[in-house]
């Protein structure tokens, strides 16, 4: 026997709650964060909404059965109620394919996935695609390029790394390209590009954005889709080193080592055991590892 659908009045309340842009953005944020949820103040900060306004929107989502709340010390933490979402979806697709959207076949794969959500609650939503990471530097020719290559190698299957610059040079630094090639990286696909590529609608939604040069950290970045977590991992610019070829190569080797160390720690983090606030702290701590610029150390101190 098919499960009973939610009353139409509840469905209308749920759809009405999601019809307001800020509430919709808040609900999507909470779905992305997962079952640990977020304090109302943190959700307000990430969506650039006044705290009192956000609390009102979250309370409305809770009344609609789309959000759950719990008290944690002085904060109220909100998490998406995926059972409530499943109820909305089940109502909307109840008449599709004779009430069995999972039998619609390959022509309706999305409906089959929605039906799976209704049957299995949190499981299918919290299975995470690879985390998208954008690594920024002003010129996108050396440090950010190396970090992109390193993360795609060390984090294969768990992370998908991209790099960009606010004022891209349009070509990769020859020393950076040579160093990566010597270490067995495929450099044929690497390119210097503008961060505007990733701020446009339709681009990959970023989970994390890291700056690896102090100039980029001080610039006003675009508003990234998805409200990613950010951290500053500033290290010295090897391209700024003036000296003998041996000294220049040593500077690039140092930069590579600093980045490799940071990314190794990132890849090893137990994401399934860290709530959002703890993860943010870990990301800023990574920025203080060997080779950190003073700005990176200061950024971590402020974040802590």
Domain ranges of the chain: 8-126, 131-303
So which residues are the catalytic ones? 137, 213, 221
Smallest CA-to-CA distance from 155 within 276, 272, 273, 264 is with 264
Residue 213 pLDDT more than 70? yes
- Please tell me the predicted confidence (pLDDT) of residue 247: 96
**One-letter-per-residue 3-state SS of 33-64:** HCCCCEEHHHHHHHHCCCHHHHHHHHHHHHHC
Q: What is the pLDDT of residue 82?
A: 77
Between CA 36 and CA 41, with CA 40 as vertex, the angle to 5 degrees is 115
**In this model, does residue 103 exceed pLDDT 60?**
no
CB 221 within 8 A of CB 198: no
What's the pLDDT band for 226 if we cut at 50, 70, 90?
low
CATH architecture of 8-126: Orthogonal Bundle (1.10)
Question: Which residue, 150, 179, 174, 154, is CA-closest to 163?
Answer: 150
Task: Quote the CA–CA distance of 140 and 216 in Å, as a whole number.
Answer: 10
C-alpha 207/C-alpha 224 separation (Å) is 10
Rounded to two decimals, the pTM is: 0.60
Tokens representing 212 are 């690896």
Per-residue confidence (pLDDT) for residue 70, from 0 to 100: 86
- CB of 224 closer than 8 Å to CB of 199: yes
Tell me the mean pLDDT in the region 112-127: 43
User: What CA–CA distances, in Å, run from 105 to 35, 86, 96, 102, 110?
Assistant: 31, 20, 12, 7, 10
pLDDT for 74 beyond 80:
no
Q: With residue 302 as reference, give the H or E element that holds it.
A: helix 294-303
Cα radius of gyration rounded to whole Å, the chain? 22
Query: If one looks up domain 131-303 in CATH, what number appears?
Result: 3.40.50.2300
């Amino acid at each position: 026997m098919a499960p009973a659908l939610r009353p139409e009045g509840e469905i209308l309340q749920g759809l009405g709650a999601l019809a307001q842009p800020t509430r919709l953005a808040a609900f999507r944020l909470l779905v992305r964060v997962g079952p640990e949820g977020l304090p109302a103040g943190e959700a307000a900060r990430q969506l650039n909404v006044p705290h009192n306004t956000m609390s009102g929107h979250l309370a409305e989502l809770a009344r609609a059965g789309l959000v759950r709340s719990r008290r944690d010390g002085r904060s109220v933490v909100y998490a998406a109620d995926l059972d409530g979402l499943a109820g909305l979806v089940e109502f909307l697709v109840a008449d599709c394919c004779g009430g069995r959207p999972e039998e619609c076949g390959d022509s309706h794969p999305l409906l089959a996935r929605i039906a799976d959500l209704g049957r299995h609650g949190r499981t299918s939503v919290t299975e995470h695609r690879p985390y998208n990471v954008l690594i920024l530097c002003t010129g996108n020719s050396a440090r950010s390029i190396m970090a992109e290559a390193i993360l795609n190698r060390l984090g294969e299957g768990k992370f998908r790394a991209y790099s960009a610059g606010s004022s891209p040079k349009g070509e990769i630094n020859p020393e950076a390209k040579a160093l990566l090639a010597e270490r067995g990286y495929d450099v044929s696909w690497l390119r210097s590009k503008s961060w505007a590529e990733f701020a446009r609608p339709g681009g990959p939604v970023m989970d994390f954005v890291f700056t690896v040069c102090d100039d980029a950290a001080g610039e006003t970045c675009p508003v990234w889709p998805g409200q990613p977590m950010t951290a500053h991992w500033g290290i010295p610019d090897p391209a700024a080193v003036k000296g003998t070829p041996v000294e220049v190569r040593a500077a690039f080797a140092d930069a590579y080592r600093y980045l490799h160390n940071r990314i190794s720690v990132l890849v090893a983090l137990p994401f399934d055991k860290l709530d959002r606030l703890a993860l943010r702290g870990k990301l800023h701590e990574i920025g203080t590892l060997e080779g950190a610029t003073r700005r990176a150390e200061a950024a971590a101190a402020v974040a802590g």
